[in-house]
Amino acid sequence: MRALVLGGTGLLGRVLLEEWSGDEITGIGSGDADIRDRSQLRAYFHRCRPKWTVLAAAYTDVDGCEKEGRLAHDVNATGAANVALECREVDSRLLFVSTDYVFDGAKSVPYEINDEMNRFSVYGESKAEGERLVRGILPQACIVRTSWLFGANGRCFPNTILNAAGTGKKLSVVDDQMGRPTYNRDLARAIIKLCRAGAQEIVHASNSGSCSWYEFARYLLRAAGFADLPVEAIPTEALSHPARRPKRSVLSLASLEQYDIQMRPWQDTVADYIRERTALHGSHQPIPPRIAKTA
């Protein structure tokens, strides 16, 4: 099987290329082709003729999207539509990676795939519009919504927490937002299985179990040897982020389990994450920030 991964230098795309074996895989980043420009995409699609295309490229800076709404829409919505159009041209299946932020977080139980999208951030709006455009062009496309993605190399909550812990500073973390942390390598393995299974429509894919950001931080710190570092639990309102966050964006995993795919509890991924982080950067060494608007 030939597969094309867009966003191959990002937090998910990089490990997707590393995890995918036994098939002919091509990965490209924004430096190779800008998904906002169909002419740049067309050359790769016609050269690769992929059976599957995974769209993991996105503008994921939630607060940055509030400030740069046009860019967010151009990348996450128009860019997604461009990819879908190119997939249709070469008869490629498409798996589009989306987000829990298409929901407002008002439900007290996990979100199902057919729940109405009710986003209230520019990022969530742009990804929801991307979903609508993709499904309008390719009704059988697979849309994989995930949440709280993290990995050893890239911008994510665990790296921010452990970088700060390395300075010895007291941390303050919100304790009233609930979700499912998702280890990038586990999600990559699930995506590969979904492609090989010919998945269609919407699938929710995250590690099992849920927690607050505060609980996540405390678990990370204990696992990394910072158990005695003070961590203050604070409400969302104590922060002044430009973008609103859903208070409870836990995704139901029933749709993933229909493909006989189960992702382990998020707690079981932390040791793997820390080992990988240590191998890449040394024990508790701050990871240099990597700022990228498209992956």
Is 53 in a helix, a strand, or coil? Answer: strand
For the chain, the average pLDDT equals 94
Task: Identify whether 123 is a catalytic site residue.
Answer: yes
What's the token pair of residue 145? 């919504």
Using a 10 angstrom Cβ sphere, with 0-12 exposed, 13-18 middle and 19 or more buried, the burial of residue 115 is middle
Residues of the chain above pLDDT 70, percent: 96
pTM, two decimal places: 0.94
What local confidence, expressed as pLDDT, does residue 291 receive?
33
Q: Is the pLDDT of residue 97 over 90?
A: yes
Out of 59, 101, 111, 123, pick the active-site residue.
Answer: 123
Q: Is the pLDDT of residue 105 over 60?
A: yes
Percent of the chain at pLDDT > 90 equals 89
* Mean pLDDT across 77-87: 98
Instruction: Report the b/e string of 132-165 with b at 16+ CB within 10 A.
Output: ebbbebbeebbbbbbbbbbbbbbbbbbbbbbbbb
Residue 21 has pLDDT above 80, yes or no: yes
Q: What is the pLDDT of residues 181-230, one digit of tens each?
A: 999 999 999 999 999 999 999 999 999 999 999 999 999 999 999 999 99
Domain 2-156+180-208+250-265 falls in which CATH fold?
A: Rossmann fold (3.40.50)
Reported confidence tier of residue 282, pLDDT bands at 50, 70, 90: confident
Any idea what the Cα angle at residue 250 is, between residues 6 and 95, rounded to 5°?
20
Query: Residues 27-55: what's their mean pLDDT?
Result: 95
Residue 254 has pLDDT above 80, yes or no: yes
Domain ranges of the chain: 2-156+180-208+250-265
**pLDDT band at residue 119, thresholds of 50, 70 and 90?**
confident
